[in-house]
Amino acid sequence: MIAPNAKIHPSSVIEDGAVIGENVEIGPFCHIGPNVVLGDDIALLSHVVVIGRTTIGKATKIFPGAVIGGDSQSAHHSAVNTKLVIGENCTIREGVTMNTGTVEHGGSTVVGDNNLFLAYSHVAHDCRLGNNIILSNNVMLAGHVTVEDRAILGGGSAVHQFTRVGRQAFVGGLSAVSYDVIPYGMLNGNPGVLSGLNVVGMTRAGIDRQTIHAVRRCYKQIFEGPQSIRANAAAVREEYLDCPPAIEILDFIAAESDRALSSPNRSSKG
């Protein structure tokens, strides 16, 4: 079904079964598969491939060379009923690739709203991305990665499979993210290590100075305390019940995960 006011260049291929919303603009030499749903006000500039069971939210803009909804690159891939869901108002730049999920792990790759994917970044199968995230040029997310709201990943950084990147974390360019990154954390290097808190991001998000100081104190107690990271976090929890960002970090540390925790010390994994 194609909305009557959609603008589609005659060189583009729209396969039977695709759903094209109101005011969609599809430029030259695009290919839209039969199980694709494009929301209203989407723009595909040119040479864009959208295939698989892919749904894209309204007002998303996709630049040339992107391939969205391709099969997962898992050696155990089965395309049956797997899908990719992308939210609203995302910007997907040149050469970006996003894959559908795998049956073995729920079958879905999910991307939230208002995200910016710079050129040649990659979102692998079964990833879960929140809102207002920036993936800079050539960022590589392996399968099953979780990236929470407002995280920023610098150019060329790579995230190991099953790793979590917490809300408003900042990952420096060319970093290797092998272990979970706490909310508001800053990680740099290969192998990546924590280098403090994303204070600039916290300030821009409207977190007041007193709260930032409290989170800094909590961070120091967690990573410089006498016990393991998780034991230190559990020991200080009562002290920070009135500090939501600190509790967010402590909850993240306490949650079950397939990966260890990044820390300021390469030899410490949680």
CATH number, domain containing residue 65: 2.160.10.10
Active-site residue flag, 95: no
- Determine the Cα–Cα distance for residues 97 and 122; give it in Å rounded to an integer: 5
* 126 in catalytic set: yes
Dihedral-angle region of residue 126 (phi above 0 means left; psi in -120 to 50 means alpha; beta otherwise): left
**What's this model's pTM, rounded to 2 decimal places?**
0.96
CB 82 within 8 A of CB 102: yes
- Structural tokens at position 260: 């260890």
- At which of 114, 144, 174 does a domain end? 144
* 71 assigned to active site: no
Q: ∠ CA(44), CA(46), CA(47), 5° rounding?
A: 110
pLDDT at 81 (0 to 100): 82
* CA-to-CA separations, 27 to 91, 93, 215, in angstroms, rounded: 16, 15, 48
SS3 99: strand
* Regions in the chain scoring below 70 on pLDDT: 78-79, 266-270
pLDDT computed for residue 61 by the predictor: 99
Distance, CA of 2 to chain centre: 30
Q: Write down the pLDDT at residue 213.
A: 98
Q: Catalytic: which of 113, 126, 149, 180?
A: 126
Q: Would residue 227 count as lying in a domain?
A: yes
| Residue 173 belongs to a domain | no
Q: Are 12 and 139 members of one domain?
A: yes
Q: What is the pLDDT of residue 68?
A: 98
Do residues 125 and 102 touch, judged by C-beta distance below 8 A? yes
Range of 18's domain? Answer: 7-144
Q: State the pLDDT at residue 261.
A: 96
Are 42 and 134 members of one domain? yes
CA dist 74 and 105 (Å) reads 11
In a domain, 120, yes or no: yes
Could you tell me if 97 and 211 lie in one domain?
A: no
Which pLDDT value is given to residue 230? Answer: 96
Query: pLDDT value at position 105?
Result: 82
**Structural domains of the chain, count:** 2
243 and 139, same structural domain?
Answer: no
Q: Which of 21, 39, 143, 172 is catalytic?
A: 143
Residue tagged active-site, from 47, 122, 125, 144: 125
My answer on whether 140 and 212 are in the same domain is no
Q: Is residue 197 part of a domain?
A: no
